Structure 1
Amino acid sequence: MSSRSEIKIDARLEQAKSLVKALENGDGGLAEGLINELAEMSQNEMFQEVGKITRRLHDSMNQFGLDARISELADKDMPDAKERLNYVITMTDQAAHATLTAVEELLPVAVGLNDRSNKLLEQWGRFQQREMPYEEFRNVSKEIAGFFEYSASTSEIISKKLTEILMAQGYQDITGQIIRRVIQLVQDVETNMVELIRLSGGMNEGDQKKQNEPELAGPVVPTLATGDSVQSQDDVDDLLSSLGF
C-alpha cells in the first residue's frame, strides 16, 4: 500500500472518529459538516478515478489509431517508397546514359564539320584575294558542292541527336512527382513518430512551451469563443490536462 493511500485512510479515520464524537455529544451541526466532507471526499476520489480511466481510454484510442498508421507505413508505404526511389535511380541512369551517348556521337560530327568549314573558309579567302589559280578554283568548287551535301546530312544527324537528348530529359517530370510523394511519406513518418513519442510521455517540451507563450489576439471563432465545445482529439487532451489527468 502506498503512502498516499495510507494518508487518505488516516484522514478518513480521523473524520470518522470526529463524526462519532460529534454524534455522542449531540452536536448536529458538526456531524452534518463531517458527513458532507466525507461525501465530498468520496465524490472527489470517484472523480479522480473516472478521470484516470478516461485518460487511459483516450490515450489507448489514440495509440490504436497511431499504431495502425505506423503499421501501414511499415508494411505498405515504406516498401512502395523504396521501389519508387529505385525507379527514379533507374530512369535517371537511363537518361544520363542516353544523353552521354548522343553527345559522344555528336562530337566527331561537330569536329568534322568545323574542320571542313575552316578549310573552305581559308580557300575562299585566297580566291577573294585573287591568289587562287583557275584549276585550283575548279577543285574548290567541287569541294564546296560536296560540303553543301555534307552539311545537309550532318544537320540531320545533329537534329536527331539533339532530339534524343531532349527526350531523355523527360524523366525529370515523372521523377519529380515520385520524389515529392516520397518526401510527403517521410513527413508522415516524422509526424507519426513525434506523436508516438508524445503519447509515450517522452516529449513535454512542446506542451510547456505552449503554456508559457502568450496567445496572440486573432479573429473570434464562434465555437472557440464559448469555450464549451470539444472539437478534436487535441481538445480532449487539453480538457483532460486541465483537469489534472
Structure 2
Amino acid sequence: MSSRSEIKIDARLEQAKSLVKALENGDGGLAEGLINELAEMSQNEMFQEVGKITRRLHDSMNQFGLDARISELADKDIPDAKERLNYVITMTDQAAHATLTAVEELLPVAEGLNDRSNKLLEQWGRFQQREMPYEEFRNVSKEIAGFFEYSASTSEIISKKLTEILMAQGYQDITGQIIRRVIQLVQDVETNMVELIRLSGGMNEGDQKKQNEPELAGPVVPTLATGDSVQSQDDVDDLLSSLGF
C-alpha cells in the first residue's frame, strides 16, 4: 500500500473517531459537519477515479481510431468484399444457368436413345426366338445400322454437354478462394469490433435512460448537430486536461 493511501485511510479513521465521539456527546452540529467532510472526500476521490478512467478510455479510443487496419477495413476491404461477393453471385448464377441448359438439352437425347434401344432389344429378342420373318429381319438389320450411326452422333452430343457441365463447375475453385478471403475479412472485423466493445463496455454497462433527464453532450452527428456537443477529439482532450486528467 502506498504512503498516500495510508495517509488517506488515517485521515478518514480520525474523522470517523471524531464522528463517533461527537455522536456520543450529542454534538449534532459537529457530527453533521464531519459527515459532510467524509462525503466530500468520497465524492472527490470518486471524481478523480472517474476522470482517470475517462482519460484511459479516451486515449484507448483515439489509438483504436487511428489503427491503420481499421481505416483499411472501412475504406478498402469491405467495399472490395462486397464486389467479390457480387462476383460470386454472378458466377454461381451463370454456372447454374449453363448446367440447367445443358441438362435440358441432354434429356430428349437420352430419351431418344433409350426408346430406340428398347425397340431394337425387343426385335432382337424375337429374332433369337426365331419368331421374325426374313423380310422383317432385313428391315431390322437396316434399323440396327442406323442405330449405330445414331449412337455415335448421340455420344458426341452427350460428351459435349457433359464437358459444358464440367466446365461450368470450375467456378467453385475461384469462388471458394473469394469466400475464404471474405471470411477472413469478417474475422478481422469481428476482432476489431470486440476490441471496440471491450474499450467502451465499461461506460455502457448498467447505463439506462431516464425520462425528463437532460441529454448529455456527445460527438457531433451530422443530422443532429448542436452547439452543446463536443466538436472534436481535441476538445475532449482539452476538457479532460482542464479537469486535471
Using the size of structure 1 for normalisation, the TM-score is: 0.61
Secondary structure at the counterpart of residue 212 of structure 1: coil
Moved more, 49-58 or 1-10: 1-10
Matched-pair contact (CA < 8 Å) for 2:64–2:196: no
Matched-pair contact (CA < 8 Å) for 1:73–1:189: yes
Matched-pair contact (CA < 8 Å) for 1:113–1:151: yes
Q: How many angstroms does 1:75 deviate by?
A: 1.4
Moved more, 200-209 or 70-79: 200-209
Matched-pair contact (CA < 8 Å) for 2:220–2:231: no
Q: What is the CA–CA distance in structure 2 between the aligned matches of 1:98 and 1:34, rounded to whole Å?
A: 87
Q: What is the CA–CA distance in structure 2 between the aligned matches of 1:63 and 1:90, rounded to whole Å?
A: 40
Moved more, 64-73 or 187-196: 64-73
Matched-pair contact (CA < 8 Å) for 1:22–1:28: yes
Provide Cα deviations, 1:11-40, integer angstroms capped at 9, x if missing partner.
Answer: 699999999999999999999999999999
Q: What is the CA–CA distance in structure 2 between the aligned matches of 1:191 and 1:224, rounded to whole Å?
A: 30
Distance 1:39 1:168, change over 3 A: closer
Secondary structure at the counterpart of residue 217 of structure 1: coil
Q: How many angstroms does 1:199 deviate by?
A: 1.6
Q: What is the CA–CA distance in structure 2 between the aligned matches of 1:46 and 1:204, rounded to whole Å?
A: 18
Q: What is the CA–CA distance in structure 2 between the aligned matches of 1:185 and 1:86, rounded to whole Å?
A: 16
Matched-pair contact (CA < 8 Å) for 1:63–1:196: no
Distance 1:164 1:21, change over 3 A: closer
Matched-pair contact (CA < 8 Å) for 1:198–1:204: no
Matched-pair contact (CA < 8 Å) for 2:51–2:240: yes
Q: What is the CA–CA distance in structure 2 between the aligned matches of 1:212 and 1:122, rounded to whole Å?
A: 92
Q: What is the CA–CA distance in structure 2 between the aligned matches of 1:212 and 1:181, rounded to whole Å?
A: 49
Structure 2 counterpart of 1:39: 39
User: Which structure 2 residue ranges, 5 or more long, are not aligned?
Assistant: none
Secondary structure at the counterpart of residue 207 of structure 1: coil
Q: How big is the alpha-carbon RMSD for the aligned residues of Structure 1 and Structure 2? A: 15.2
Using the size of structure 2 for normalisation, the TM-score is: 0.61
Q: What is the CA–CA distance in structure 1 between the aligned matches of 2:89 and 2:225, rounded to whole Å?
A: 53
Provide Cα deviations, 1:46-73, integer angstroms capped at 9, x if missing partner.
Answer: 9999995997399448724665432321
Q: How many angstroms does 1:88 deviate by?
A: 0.3
Distance 1:156 1:210, change over 3 A: farther
Q: Greater RCO between the two (CA within 8 Å, min separation 6)?
A: 1
